[in-house]
Amino acid sequence: MRLFIAINFDENTKENLITVQNHLRKLGRGNFSRPENLHLTLAFLGEVSPERVAEICRIMDQITVPVLHISFDHVGRFKRDGGDIWWIGLAKNKTLLTLQKELAERLRAEGFPIENRSFSPHVTLARRVVLNEKQENIKILKEPFYTDVNKISLMLSHRIDGKLTYTEQYSVQSEI
C-alpha cells in the first residue's frame, strides 16, 4: 500500500486552489492536479505492508491535532527537465511545523522511513508544466487566502480506472 499522511481541504479552499491553478493553466500546459487530490503532505510513508496500518493509526492517535490557521501566500516551482512542478506555499506557521515534526519523529521512532529534511509546506498544483513563453514576474496568486483545518488523514494513493486517486483510510482531528 502506498501511503501518506496529509491535510485535506474543504470545498471553499479547494475552489481557491483551483482559481490559482486556472491562472497557471492560462500560461502553459501540464499535468494539473485533480481538485479532489489537492492536499498538503505531512509525511510520505511510501510502500507500507497492510499489517503496519494499525501501527500508523496508533501513532496518529498519540498526536494532539491543533486547529491550524493557515495562509496560502506564494507560488513557486521546482525546475525539472521536461516541465516544472508548480506549487502554492504556505506562510510560516509554527503550529503546523511543530505538528509535522512530532508526527515525523514518532513515525521514524517506529521504523518508518520518513525523510529527514526540512519541511516546506506546499500544495502541488501541476507537474510537467511548460509555459507558452518565458515569463518574468508571473503573478499567479492574485492575493493570499486563508483556511482553518483541524484534521490529519492517512491517505492511500492508488489508481482507479487509470486515474491517480487518494482515499482516506483513517483520520484524527482536534476537539474543538
- Helix, strand, or coil (residue 54): helix
Position 137 scores a pLDDT of 59
Are the C-beta atoms of residues 121 and 89 closer than 8 Å to each other? yes
pLDDT band at 139 (very low <50, low <70, confident <90, very high): confident
When divided into structural domains, the chain yields a total of: 1
Supply the range of the domain harboring residue 52: 2-173
CATH code, domain carrying 154: 3.90.1140.10
Which three cell numbers mark 101? Answer: 515534526
Find how far residue 15's CA is from the centre of its chain: 15
Q: For 83-92, what is each residue's pLDDT tens digit?
A: 899 999 999 9
Helix axis angle, 53-61 to 94-109, nearest 10°: 140
pLDDT band at 136 (very low <50, low <70, confident <90, very high): low
Position 141 scores a pLDDT of 82
Nearest to 42 by CA among 149, 158, 137, 125: 149
pLDDT band at 135 (very low <50, low <70, confident <90, very high): low
Position 27 scores a pLDDT of 87
pTM for the complete prediction?
0.91
